[in-house]
Amino acid sequence: MRLPASRAAVVAMALTASSFVAGSASAAESGWFKAYDGAVITGKRHSERELPFSVLSTLVIKGELKNTGNDCYSLWAKLGIGSAPATRAATQCGPGAATFDLRSVPAMNPDGTLFLCKGEATQNCGPRFSAREFPVSALPIR
């Protein structure tokens, strides 16, 4: 059976939209991660508009810090602009996992820097990376 061109286009768009929504699997399934020493983080990000017609949005990052060793590891984040210091988003001491939920201040193009450190301070840390490196979630993360 052959569909008219306009109907075929609608079917193709519906299939693309359904695969886009179905593609909102966990970050671990997408293969994205950052590691430092014995710690690994995975996560997803999305943006939320402050108001329907606002140019300001909030960057939201949710994920997990996993530790495979006996030491402590911490995820530090500096989201938004300005000279505010980085804050500790999650710490995991010993084997296990800790979740994190980060929100930037509303901005026109929110971004930030994150880094993993051994211990609960920032003396022994891995390279910094952009918050925009997290994969984008198709739908807001709940």
Is the C-alpha dihedral spanning 130, 122, 66, 81 positive or negative? negative
Per-residue pLDDT of the chain (142 residues; tens, 9 = 90+): 444 544 433 333 333 232 233 333 343 444 578 999 999 999 998 889 888 888 999 999 999 999 999 999 999 999 987 778 899 999 999 999 999 999 998 888 888 999 999 999 999 999 999 988 888 876 555 5
CA distance 80 to 59: 9
**What torsion do the CA atoms of 19, 101, 32, 72 make, to the nearest 10 degrees?**
-160
The reported pTM is 0.73
What is the b/e burial string over 88-106, where b = at least 16 CB atoms within 10 angstroms of the residue's CB?
ebbbbeeeeebebebebeb
Closest CA to 131 of 82, 93, 75: 75
SS3 (DSSP) at 126: coil
Domains and CATH numbers, the chain: 25-133 (2.60.40)
